Structure 1
Amino acid sequence: MESSKHLLEEKVLQLESQIKELQARVEVLENSDPVIQPLPIETKEEKVSTTSPTQATHHHKEVAPIDWEKVLFQIWLPRVFIFVFIIGVLWGFKAASEYGLMNETVKVTLGFIISSLLLLIGQNQMKNSREKLGYVLLGGAVPLLMLTTFAMHVLYNMVGPSLAFVLNVAWIVIGLMLTKKHRSEVLGFISMVGGVLVPFLIESETPNIYVFLGYETLLYLLFLFLAVKLQFKVIYYGSTILLNIALFVFYISSYVFTEDKFAIEYYVACPILIQHGFLLYFYIKEKKQIDQHAGMLFASLLVTSAWVYSTFSEHGVSLFFALLVVMYVFLFIKWQQDVKKRSIFLTNVIIAITFLILHAVNEELQMSVLLIEGLAAYYVSLRYRNSISKGIAIFIYVFTGLMLVAGEVITTPFSNETINWLIFLTTFVLGMNMTYSFHSASKEQILKYGSVILTILVLTFSTELTMAVVEGWADNKQRLAVNVVWIGLAIVAIVIGLKNTFNYAKYIGVSLLILTLLKMIFYDMPYIPLAIRAGLFIALGFVGLVVSRTFYKKK
């Protein structure tokens, strides 16, 4: 009894100690005064307005609407009306001169004053963060300065050519400096267009060819260097295009009114040669935007070739393309380890050789030489894995082949046409072999389609050659000869297929037999005598049976 009483007392003491510990913890929590936030309860309105993170991200990615007011009135409106303003100033000066309101000195002075005001106002607009308007005003000042200088020199004879040239160079330099300072392609483009148009806005009865060519060339080079340095694509392409347009307009207009035809024909293309040389220089030197330089260099070669063809003498054209071939072959060899550079060099080699062949090789041999060139270019392109030059090589070869098939009719067995056809067939077989070697993954397709095309070519050549051989024979004998040749080709194809286990050749041979049969039934039968018709059908039937037996024997 006493033991149980003792245990009960110990339990009571333990409970009392636990109660005291719990009370102490409660006091600590109460002293810390925690703020318990109730859980938010979403209402229907909140649920509707709540967006997920994905939706929020999508919302931020939405493109802002175009501010057409800004585009039209702040960007394009000043660009258009600065040219309107300049033309208005020109016409105003001309009208004032006709009515006797001002003399040449006053007009030139006003021209420089207006240009200076445009520069000052443009700079002020730039400082006040109105860049779009400032660019246009600054860009308009530069061509107006050049225009005033040209008028002062050409129209009014107030200064000599040397001072006029120096002043125009100074205005161009100002335009370049402003473009570089503000890094504005718009400003540079306006200055460039104004500079190109200046000579055409000046009326002169005796235009100086050499001053014009020198001015346009220098203008182009300055803006080309600026475009490359600041990576201005619009000026890079625009300056190249504008030079060609300016020279073309000058060439057409001056050729009619100028007696010095020699100077126009032999010197008008010089700026284009210089242009191509500098484009080549930047392509070799620059490491940025290499694709841009490559495309421009290729286009420049085509345009330069057109200019040379149009203006140079016969010997001059041949010499130009010969030097061009030598230069690009050298560049290709020097940079053949550079995948990008060798690509355009190889392409330009092919183009230059093609133009040289078209100009220097006798017309009777042109097709043969072009076919050989196309095959050689195709092989080099396959070897160096150059898709651009490969496409050009295929185009040269296919175009020449189509011209041969469509236009070259064999009149005599031993003729240039026969040689062209033999070279065509030989190069086609070599081309198939090259393609087969370099494109192992497509061997079946190459054999299938290549064999069909080769069969059509051989059939066409054999028919034309046979008709040339039997010319003068009776009509029925000519038809008989053609049918015999077709049967012979079928037999040759089947034999090749059986010996080399080349199934496509066997199928082609059988197809030729069937084609010969159809030709005899629907085309030749009314014109062939009964005896010859019987012999042909017997021969054709016998060959067909032998071929069938051969297939059966092989199987």
Structure 2
Amino acid sequence: MESEERIIDLEKRVRQLEGDIALLKTKDKPLKSQSMPKLKNEVVTPGVKENKQPRDWEKEIGQVWLPRIFIFILLIGVIWAFRAGTELGLINEYVRVAFGYLASIVLLFFGWKQHLKKHIVLSQVLVGGSIGLMFISTFAMHVLYGFIPLIIAFLLHVLTVGAGLTFSVQLKSQSIGIISSIGASIVPFLLASQEGNLTFFLGYEFIVFLAFIALAFKREFDILYYVVTYGFQFALLAYAIFQVEPDVRLLTGAVVLQHLVLVGMLLIRKQAKESSLFPVLTTAVLTSIWVISSLNTVETNVVLLGLVGLYLILLYLKKEESHKTALFVSSSAIVLFVYFMEMFETSVALLLLVEGLIVILLTGRLKSKLQAVIGAVIYSIGMILTFSMTIFSFFSIETVTWAVLIASLTSLYLLFNDSDYVKRNAVIFAKVFISLLGLVYVSQLAGLTTSDSMMQPMVMSLSWLMYAVLFVAYGFYKNDKITRIFGMALIFFTLAKVILIDIPAVSMAIRAILFLLLGTLGITISRLFYRKAEKTGDSHAPK
């Protein structure tokens, strides 16, 4: 009996333990689902807080913006102090120059001291102000007061540029690099020289460009990259404007060389940043403008077509890098655009349509919004130029251009019609727009079939009818309601034109022929609608 009682007691305990285990399992499931992702996230991103810290505006204003604003105010105060002292007769020219250099040294000293204390922004502002004041002081000593000759002034400016470049590297400061590069670019214009030496000017500007563009490239200073690139362009443009009869061909050669340097630096970079793509594209435009403005026809062909050839070679070599590929396609398109506008006056619309279409079609593969915009702009310019062209002969460049416009628009419609982002209203607008362009094209061709002014309106109406019938037939064949409606609307519009405009000017025989033709076409089209209703089993179709 006792053994049986023990067995029963053990069975009860086993059942109780099984119940407890089942209960623990049900409680453990939500714990796992909630805790495991947190543990995983903690392992993948250790030390990263989920909540983003709020921006400390007090710190940003006090440490970043206050020094930048008030160093500018300080410089203005120094200039006004000079002016007040001069007006009162307390400061002569020598004192002004000495005070300028002394203030520059003081700013440099305190800027470096702040750098050692890890006050980064303040140190950069003070050193940048020091560099700017050095440029101003040397300019005043040389140009305003004539204390030193040109060669010494130039050497002082070069030393200032070197100091700015050095401190920009040491302090890892983009702002100092920007100030130094701007000052370096305008150094030739700060010298009192009656006649500029173009070779020396170009050599100096190009060395400055290489030095600061290398700094921007290495440190990834995006703003400095832009400033140096366009500063070089502005310096050359200023020289061309202010110098008497400058050798623009040499300036153009320097511009082409700068563009090639930017392309080369882009190729060196493994992953192209968007900030380095835009200067290459814009300098391609500026280079093309310089070339067509200064070189003869043969030289223009060699340089611009040579650039396009280079882009195509690089396009093939870098076909696996989508950003660079898109850039070279876009650059080729822009250079060819400028080339076509300059060289092919009669066929420029046709060439731009074809070029824009190719660039747009390549967008689908390269996934570049910039390239899509460039292609659309080029194509739109070609389309606008086509609108201004009147067809005077069947076999002419105008006839071909209009045909290419309609065919290319139709191709683009068919290509993008299946895209998800194309809405119904856009589809309707595209169909109607292309159809109206086709109507204009057919009308121009119809006008060439007769020189009789009395017959031209009738010929126009007949061409419209044929065009409308084609649209209705195509609409039935493709089951396209919009196309059918456009065709029927054109038939009714043509009928109104015939009754109100054409009939009073023609004989009775022509009237009879017209109305017989219109009646036959109308009944035939109506029969097509009956057949469509019968095929679809429409119970409301008239019997």
TM-score (norm. length: structure 1):
0.74
Deviation at 1:482, TM superposition (A): 0.6
Report if aligned partners of 2:315, 2:328 keep a CA contact under 8 Å in 1.
yes
Would you say 1:227 and 2:216 are equivalent positions?
A: yes
Give the alignment of 1:56-205 within 5 angstroms: 61=54, 64-65=57-58, 73-82=66-75, 85=78, 115-127=104-116, 134-143=123-132, 145=134, 168-205=157-194
Q: Which residue identity does 1:553 align to in structure 2? A: R
Match of 1:37 in 2: none
Deviation at 1:529, TM superposition (A): 5.5
String of CA shifts for 1:316-355, please: whole Å, max 9, x gaps.
3222210110010001100111122212122212222222
**Residues of 1 paired with 2:408 and 2:423: CA distance?**
18
After TM superposition, give the deviation of residue 375 of structure 1 in Å: 2.8
One-letter amino acid of the structure 2 residue matched with residue 244 of structure 1: Q
After alignment, is 520-529 or 277-286 more displaced?
A: 520-529
Instruction: Evaluate the alpha carbon distance shift between residue 151 and residue 60 of structure 1 in structure 2; reply closer, same or farther with a 3 A threshold.
Output: closer
SS at 1:269's partner residue? helix
Counterparts of residues 144-543 of structure 1 (less than 5 Å): 145=134, 168-254=157-243, 258=244, 260-261=245-246, 263=247, 265-287=248-270, 290-361=273-344, 363-405=345-387, 407-435=388-416, 439=419, 450-471=430-451, 473-475=452-454, 477-499=455-477, 504-524=482-502, 527-528=505-506, 532-543=510-521
CA distance in 2, matches of 1:62, 1:224: 33
2:307 maps to a residue whose letter is L
Q: Could you tell me how far 1:423 is from its partner in structure 2?
A: 2.9
Greater mean deviation of Cα atoms: 308-317 or 343-352: 308-317
Residues 276-330 of structure 1 deviation map (CA, whole Å, 9 limit, x = unaligned)? 2232222222246612112232222223323333333333322221011001000
Shift in CA distance, 134/395, structure 1 to aligned 2, threshold 3 Å: closer
**What CA distance in whole angstroms lies between the structure 2 residues aligned with 1:74 and 1:150?**
25
State the 1:448 CA deviation.
5.4
Change beyond 3 A, Cα 1:127–1:306: same
Task: Work out the number of aligned pairs and report it.
Answer: 483
Structure-2 separation of matches of 1:356 and 1:189: 34
In structure 1, runs of 5+ residues without a counterpart are: 1-56
Contact 1:119 1:138 in 2 (8 A): yes
SS at match of 1:409: coil
Q: State whether residues 318 and 359 of structure 1, in contact with CA within 8 Å, keep that contact through their aligned partners in structure 2.
A: no
CA distance in 2, matches of 1:378, 1:294: 19
How many angstroms apart in 2 are the aligned matches of 1:369 and 1:404? 11
More divergent stretch after superposition (197-206 vs 319-328):
197-206
Structure-2 separation of matches of 1:281 and 1:173:
25
Deviation at 1:522, TM superposition (A): 4.8
Q: Distance in 2 between matches of 1:197 and 1:252?
A: 14
Cα gap change, 1:306/1:485 in structure 2, threshold over 3 Å: closer, same or farther? same
Question: 1:469 and 1:535 mapped to 2: Cα distance?
Answer: 19
Map Cα deviations across residues 134-180 of structure 1 (whole Å, 9 max, x no partner).
4344324435555676788889696785x876664443222111111
- Distance in 2 (alpha carbons) for counterparts of 1:94 and 1:211: 37
**Structure 1 counterpart of 2:399, which letter?**
T
What are the Cα deviations for residues 89-119 of structure 1, in whole angstroms up to 9, with x where unaligned? 7x99999xxx99778xx99888766654553
Match of 1:398, SS state, is helix
Compared CA separation, residues 391 and 203, structure 1 to 2 (3 A): same
In the alignment, the residues of structure 2 paired with residue 345 and residue 457 of structure 1 have an alpha-carbon distance, to the nearest angstrom, of: 33
User: Which residue in the other structure is 2:541 paired with?
Assistant: none
Q: Contact between 1:142 and 1:175, CA under 8 Å: does it hold in 2?
A: yes
1:414–1:58 CA distance, 2 compared to 1 (3 A) = closer
Please say if residues 413 and 469 of structure 1, whose CA atoms lie closer than 8 Å, have aligned partners that are also in contact: no
Amino acid at match of 2:453: A
Taking the aligned partners of 2:86 and 2:58, their CA distance within structure 1 comes to 46
Q: Matched residues in 1 for 2:429 and 2:336: separation? A: 30
Higher Cα Rg: structure 1 or 2? 1
2:437 partner letter: L
Residues of 2 paired with 1:222 and 1:492: CA distance? 66
Query: 1:307 & 1:87 partners in 2: Cα distance?
Result: 42
> CA separation in 2, counterparts of 1:441 and 1:120?
60
Distance 1:70 1:451, change over 3 A: closer
Residue 70 of structure 1, CA deviation: 6.4
Deviation, 1:400, is: 1.0
- Cα distance in 2 for residues equivalent to 1:320 and 1:505: 48
Secondary structure of the structure 1 residue equivalent to 2:347? helix
Change (3 A) 1:115 1:394: closer
Distance change >3 Å, CA 532–CA 63, structure 1 → 2:
farther
Q: CA deviation at 1:454?
A: 3.1
> One-letter code of the match for 2:438?
V
Give the distance between the partners of 1:210 and 1:152, measured in 2 at CA: 26
Structure 2 portions without partners, runs of 5+: 1-49, 535-543
- The secondary structure found in structure 1 opposite 2:448 is helix
CA contact 2:85–2:91 (8 Å) conserved in 1: no
Shift of the alpha carbon at 1:181? 1.3
Q: 2:45 matched to which residue of 1? A: none
In 1, the alpha carbon distance for the partners of 2:322 and 2:64 equals: 43
Q: Which moved more, 1:343-352 or 1:423-432?
A: 423-432
